Homo-oligomer: A and B are copies of this chain.
Amino acid sequence: MSSVFPARPVATLEQLSTPCLVLERGKLARNLVTMAATAALKGVRFRPHLKTAKSADIAHLAAPLPEGAITVSTLREAEYFAHHGWRDIFYAVGLGPGKLPRAAALARAGVDLAVTVDHVASARAIRECARVERVSFRALIEIDSGDRRGGLPPESAELILVAQELGPLFAGVATHGGFSYNERDAAGFARAAALEADALRIAAARLHAAGFPSAMLSLGSSPTAVAAANLAGITELRAGVYMFWDCYQAGIGACRYDDIALSVLAEVIGRPAHRPNEFLIDAGSFALSKDTATAALPPEQNAGYGFVCDLAGQLLPGLRVTRTWQEHGLVVSDRALAPDAFPVGSRVRILPNHACPTAAAHDRYFVVNGNRDVLAEWPRVNGW
């Protein structure tokens, strides 16, 4: 660990160029341990989704090598994590034929790549690629458990046709209960988790009856992963945003605000005398993202583009980013601000509304642990 966390801090939060990502190591570690323990108690393998973190430094903590199994959302992530030593990688987005050359290169390099398929044409292309390139994939058929994104309904006749097309590549079924984000409490998350598990069990039973036993039944979303659910027959659990959490997840009750490990460090660049309850920061829609998912929550949970913390990471009640432009964010306070509060040049930290797109705007994390000392810089892999 000494190379990751040098004895002397590389900088303090006061010295960093803004805007940038600040990651609380202690909260990250607590979130990772809690979710790993949750999966262990449920008796399923845990396969963290790196779509949010996109960092080998974080993956080393979330899915330690050599046996760590991970989920990714892009082939660039798969290539990056393969380069850093991971071998058991699930690409959890429907694999289009255009991505097969890169997928085959990963398989040739020794990656045990699981891919997602929900269409006979994709299945045919994958099997043909495996034959021509003399590589193997584990192909999981995507099941739509209610999200209406990708996937086949569990009762779909096409399910068996896709498995037949995959032949020996068929390895099981996967689903993502993204509809859990519409729930607002533990009972709702449990209902969503039951829908996920039921859909996989129905699909796997039909496939088994047709001669295709599933080695993998993979499901998950952060709210359903923490929910009480009967996971009998399910082999693995996935989740991603739980590593950092965010204002949306806290707003729906999937975590506490104090669990949010990620923030955007910003400088106050405007303090208009004629608008006494407002100030401008140098984190706008590019640094925070345009995601306004919390607008669908009750007013007190509506973070706008993010709730505001002081430099130590303490939430400042009543302050939120209400408007953004490309490189400006407007912070508005519910109550009057003291004239000398938040002077130009002072710094705040913004808790993201939705951690995934906020993190994606940045190329690295500055890691702290409860104070202003920057312990490490962890790069991210963005793009495709």
Interface residues of A (CB under 8 A from B): 17-20, 51, 73-75, 93-99, 102, 118-119, 121-122, 125, 148-150, 152-153, 156, 158, 178, 267-275, 280, 282, 285-287, 289-292, 323, 325-328, 330, 343-345, 347, 356-357, 360-363, 382-384
18 additional contacts (CB under 8 A) given A17-B99, A94-B270, A286-B357: A17-B98, A18-B96, A18-B384, A96-B345, A97-B267, A98-B267, A98-B345, A118-B272, A121-B343, A150-B270, A150-B280, A150-B328, A152-B272, A158-B273, A286-B356, A326-B356, A326-B357, A363-B382
User: Complex formed: what's the CA distance from A285 to B150 in Å?
Assistant: 15
Q: Nearest-CB distance from A89 to chain B (Å)?
A: 15
User: Complex formed: what's the CA distance from A344 to B122 in Å?
Assistant: 7
Q: Are A384 and B17 in contact (CB under 8 A)?
A: yes
Q: Are A287 and B327 in contact (CB under 8 A)?
A: no
Q: Nearest-CB distance from A16 to chain B (Å)?
A: 8
Choose among A18, A282, A360, A384 the residue with the greatest number of B CB atoms under 10 Å from its CB. A384
27 A-B pairs in the complex with CB atoms less than 8 angstroms apart: A17-B384, A18-B96, A51-B326, A93-B328, A94-B269, A95-B269, A96-B267, A96-B268, A96-B282, A96-B345, A119-B270, A119-B344, A121-B271, A121-B344, A122-B344, A122-B345, A125-B344, A149-B280, A149-B330, A150-B328, A287-B384, A290-B292, A290-B357, A326-B356, A326-B357, A360-B361, A361-B383
